[in-house]
A and B are shown apart, each in its own frame.
Chain A
Amino acid sequence: MNKIIFISIFICLFFYYAAAAEPRYISLAPSTTEILFALGLDNEIAGVSTYCNYPEQAKNKTKVGSFSSPSIEKIISLSPDYIFCTGLEQAPVIAQLRQLNIKVYVADPVSVEELFNTIEEIGQITHKIKEASLLIEKMKSEIEEVSSKVKLIPQEERVKVFIEIWHEPLMTAAKGSVVDELVNLAGGVNIAHDLIRPYCNFSAEKVISLNPQCIILAYMDSQAPLKLVQQRFGWNKIDAVKNGRVFNDIDPDTLLRPGPRITRGLIETYKRLYPGK
């Protein structure tokens, strides 16, 4: 009799600790979700935000709310060990979570270098140090592959690019943003590189006068991108429009989300800037 009780208690305790041993993470930002999955985590991810749509498995995870206003209740109910979010819009949420003594990791990489640091740190927190190194190595080599090709292109032949983040109001990205760095790495010259903020409104006049050879639309629209831009009054004189080099088929998430897919974005950008090289 005593033996049976002892074994039952042991089994219960075993399961309890087994369950408790598996860490539970919540990601409030699509970029960090992608990083977590890329590190090989899946079951450990207890909850994500409604915007987390990549990879496929992310869509099936429990949703804890939107990007800017996640449900604290829901988060608590999932008993997370660690929460991963970004710094900007989520600042008030972070403050609340810290007050409840929940561990929060804030990731806000604005450059590729910082992104690597973020991946490393997330690897340390989630005990996936090896996977993190592997991921970083893989990304570095993909970037290197493109960089080496870019080195072969002389400065005069570098393509001038206009990155259109949004159409009305006309918004672009400048230095201090990941997409600007990607364009640079892909051998392009961002005509709006030297602006005061990483993302800001831009003057159409300036685009026309700087005459980019290539326009990348970082948003989705059902209309053919060339047609969209061609119809704009005065834009048909721009080289990019004259030569039909207006692209919206690079997944904006691979350009704008600081995550493992930026290398994909980089390669696609390079392909369009220097087709056939």
Chain B
Amino acid sequence: MRLKRNLLILLLLLCVAVILGLLKGAVNIPAANLLLKDNQAIFNLRLLRIIAGVLVGSGLAVSGIALQAILRNSLAEPYLLGTSSGAGLAAVSAVILGASRIYMPLAAFLGAALSIIIVYNLARERGAIADKSLILSGVIISVAFSSLIVFLVSLFGNEAMHEMNWWLWGSLQIYDYKLLLLVAFPVILGVCVIYLFAQDLNAISMGEEEAIHLGIDTQNIKKILIFITALITASLICICGIIGFVGLIVPHMMRLIVGPNHKILIPTTCLAASVFIILCDLLSRTLFAPVEIPIGVITAIIGAPVFIILLKKGKRIS
């Protein structure tokens, strides 16, 4: 079956990416020596980054798929509902208030959660969610919070600015592996749940009414999926900051290759996004070693031209 073949190819690519990710880095260690006890710390660091990469890639890409289906809009992406600016605002505020950096992830998570709650309530009309309202509220809150961030940074400069750098461009450098484990739960769970709703996503992506005619409880499913994508996104922002373009580009590309059937799209996108992120992280670590380029910059540099090419190809994108 075509699905099995695609999955196998992607799995192979993933193995290659993982191996490359372990072998290469800022410090040059020949492959034979990589597993020596002396190099264990560096090996573990790289492994941690790869695990984070898989989580980030799958989490953001599948969240992107879910939002694109719910909003029937190919330009939707995980940060659309204001989670990114909410997290950034909370992080900057925490820095300014002098909180220790161990509270950063918590602050970011709360910030993201707060913005999704605001956006959701703004978009609600008599208990139903209108797609356009959701997008509009998301954009408004994003802009409002981003402006607040700029305001705070302009007043309190230095440290706030450093913190912003991290949030804006993200990093797979995980210091706290316990936090990574903690975050892995909601992300993996969330991705699996979205996959469970593949059938519903197929129907909803055709139209709200069409979906109802096929027996899909669209309102409740939309609420559940919005909550889950927010959970995934907020959890990932906690540990990795904001990494753009993954949630937008990879779903697009995979839709062109395997089609819009979510039962196939979701698992293949998980694998493809993981490969993409791991390779981007590799570039960020090795291009100007030992200087590390933030991963968000790499995804943007690769993502932007790819996006333009996709737009020009036009035909298969709605």
Contacts and interface: CB of A to CB of B under 8 A. Distances in A.
Given A201-B294, A233-B175, A206 B100 contact: no
Contact of A234 (B25, B41, B155, B159): B41
Contacts of A235: 41, 175
A205 B291 CA distance: 11
B102 interface: yes
A274 interface: no
A223 B102 contact: yes
Contacts of A201: 291-294
B241 to A, nearest CB: 8
Q: What are the 6 A-B residue pairs with the smallest beta carbon separation, nearest first?
A: A203-B26, A206-B290, A234-B41, A232-B175, A223-B100, A209-B27
Interface of B: 25-27, 41-42, 44-46, 48, 98-102, 104, 154-155, 157-159, 162-163, 165-166, 169, 171, 173-177, 241, 285, 288-294
Given A203-B292, A208-B42, 9 more contacts: A68-B154, A69-B154, A168-B171, A201-B291, A205-B25, A206-B27, A222-B98, A228-B102, A233-B45
Interface in A187-219: 192, 195-197, 200-206, 208-209, 219
Majority DSSP secondary structure for residues of A touching B: loop
A62 B48 CA distance: 50
Contacts of B292: 169-170, 201-203
A187 to B, nearest CB: 24
28 contacts: A69-B154, A168-B101, A168-B163, A168-B166, A168-B171, A171-B162, A195-B291, A196-B291, A200-B291, A201-B293, A203-B26, A203-B289, A205-B42, A205-B45, A206-B27, A206-B290, A208-B45, A223-B100, A228-B101, A231-B102, A231-B175, A233-B45, A233-B176, A234-B41, A234-B42, A234-B45, A235-B41, A235-B175
Contact of A206 (B26, B99, B159): B26
A208 B42 CA distance: 7
Given A168-B166, A233-B45, A202 B174 contact: no
Contact of A169 (B45, B158, B165, B174): B165
Nearest to B44: A234
A31 to B, nearest CB: 13
Contacts of B157: 51, 66-68
Contacts of A223: 100-102
Contacts of B44: 233-234
A221 interface: yes
A191 B104 CA distance: 28
A233 B177 contact: yes
Nearest to B104: A168
Given A168-B173, A232-B176, A222 B26 contact: no
